[in-house]
């Protein structure tokens, strides 16, 4: 069996339907990428143009970052696909711990003032 594992294949076992599904997914990925580029440009414009109030621009670019975060994880890293329940659980655990950690650090360091 170990021979089998390090042997290249001459062909792919993908059926026609699977191949079509994959090509469709690929198209979705490229659209996702274009959308992420758009969001990035939007964030840079929101700050670079200096026309938008910081009180609005900051939450706005943070929201854009969260959207990009979700797109990356679910599309590029395939978290939306099946057989990804555990990866979803792990990432969710990470986020659940990370969020209060950030908030606590900002508040505590803000109080002690370096």
Partner 1 sequence: MSDSVDVSKGLPSNPEKATLEGKNKFLGFWVFLGGETIMFATFFGTFLGLKEGTAAGPTADELFSLPLVFIMTMLLLTSSLTSVLAMFSMKKNNFKNMMILTAITVVLGLGFLGFEIYEFYEYLHHGLGYTTSAFASSFYTLVGLHGAHVVFGLSWFITLMIRYSRTGGITLTNAPKFYLASLYWHFIDVVWVFIFTVVYLMSIGGA
Taking the complex as a whole, the smallest distance from the CB of residue 67 to partner 1 amounts, in Å, to 10
Pair 79, 73: CB distance under 8 Å: yes
- Angle (CA) 9-11-15 rounded to 5° is 130
Figure out which of the listed residues 24, 42, 58, 80 binds partner 1, where binding follows CB under 8 A: 58
Binding of partner 1 by 51 (CB under 8 A): no
Q: How many residues bind partner 1, per CB under 8 A?
A: 65
Taking the complex as a whole, the smallest distance from the CB of residue 114 to partner 1 amounts, in Å, to 4
Q: What are phi and psi of 9, to 5 degrees?
A: -100, 145
From CA 70, how far away is CA 35, in angstroms rounded?
A: 12
Closest CA to 35 of 77, 58, 63, 67: 67
Binding site for partner 1 (CB under 8 A): 1, 4-14, 18-19, 22, 25-26, 29-30, 33, 36-37, 40, 43-44, 46-48, 50, 54, 57-58, 61-62, 64-65, 68-69, 72-73, 76-77, 83, 86-87, 90-91, 93-95, 97-99, 101-110, 113-114
């Amino acid at each position: 069996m170990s021979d089998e594992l390090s042997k290249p294949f001459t062909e792919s076992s993908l059926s026609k339907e699977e191949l079509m599904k994959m090509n469709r997914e690929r198209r979705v990925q490229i659209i996702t990428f274009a959308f992420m580029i758009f969001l990035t440009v939007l964030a840079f414009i929101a700050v670079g143009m200096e026309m938008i109030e910081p009180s609005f621009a900051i939450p706005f670019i943070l929201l854009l970052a969260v959207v990009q975060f979700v797109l990356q994880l679910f599309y590029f890293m395939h978290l939306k696909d099946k057989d990804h329940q555990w990866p979803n659980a792990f990432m969710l655990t990470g986020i659940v711990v990370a969020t209060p950690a950030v908030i606590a650090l900002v508040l505590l360091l803000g109080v002690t003032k370096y």
